[in-house]
Amino acid sequence: MKGKLKHPPVTLDASSRKIVREAIEGYCRFKNWPVLALNVRSNHVHVVIKAVENSSKMLNAIKARATRMLREAGKFDADRPIWTERGNQGRLLTEKSVNDAINYVLNEQGPEI
């Protein structure tokens, strides 16, 4: 992945991670999208949301909201990309797969950096 980047990788500091968390939680509340698990890391985000709309539209919407809030807070310039194109939009079709994903997001990411 790093070899394909056109800009240096983004690292989210503690205050940026808080902004991203609040952006996702707030937007999902506004849209009535139940957030089942959320973990904002220094270099990526994990979120499990009960699908209400098309998953790619949901992903794009939360990325856009988080980007706007980060830029408004002065964390990144307008011309600086924050997210990669990549994002897993897989559907979790069984209760077990949902529970496994929630556990992975909440308990298997290692210590907060």
Kindly report, residue by residue over 5-18, the tens digit of the pLDDT.
667 778 899 999 99
User: What pLDDT sits at residue 11?
Assistant: 86
Q: When comparing pLDDT for 35 and 88, which is higher?
A: 35
| Domain-embedded: residue 58 | yes
| Domain-embedded: residue 113 | no
Q: Determine how many CB atoms are found less than 10 A away from the CB of residue 77.
A: 7
Distance of CA 11 to the CA centre of its chain: 13
Contact 90, 46 (CB under 8 A): no
Among left, alpha and beta (phi > 0; psi -120 to 50; other), residue 10 is: beta
Specify the number of domains making up the chain: 1
| Domain-embedded: residue 54 | yes
Q: Compute the distance between CA of residue 85 and CA of residue 74 in angstroms, rounded to an integer.
A: 22
Q: Compute the distance between CA of residue 105 and CA of residue 110 in angstroms, rounded to an integer.
A: 10
94-105 residue pLDDT tens: 899 999 999 999
Collapse the DSSP code of 25 into the 3-class scheme (helix H, G, I; strand E, B; otherwise coil) and give the result. helix
What CATH number is attached to the domain comprising 75?
Answer: 3.30.70.1290
Q: Which regions of the chain does DSSP assign to beta strands (E)? A: 35-40, 45-49
22-79 residue pLDDT tens: 999 999 999 999 999 999 999 889 999 998 888 888 989 999 999 999 999 999 888 8
Residue 88 has pLDDT above 60, yes or no: yes
Q: Compute the distance between CA of residue 107 and CA of residue 65 in angstroms, rounded to an integer.
A: 26
Q: Compute the distance between CA of residue 47 and CA of residue 106 in angstroms, rounded to an integer.
A: 9
| Domain-embedded: residue 95 | yes
User: What pLDDT sits at residue 28?
Assistant: 95
Which structural domain range is residue 48 located in?
2-107
Give the model's confidence band at 4: pLDDT under 50 very low, under 70 low, under 90 confident, else very high.
low
User: What pLDDT sits at residue 85?
Assistant: 67
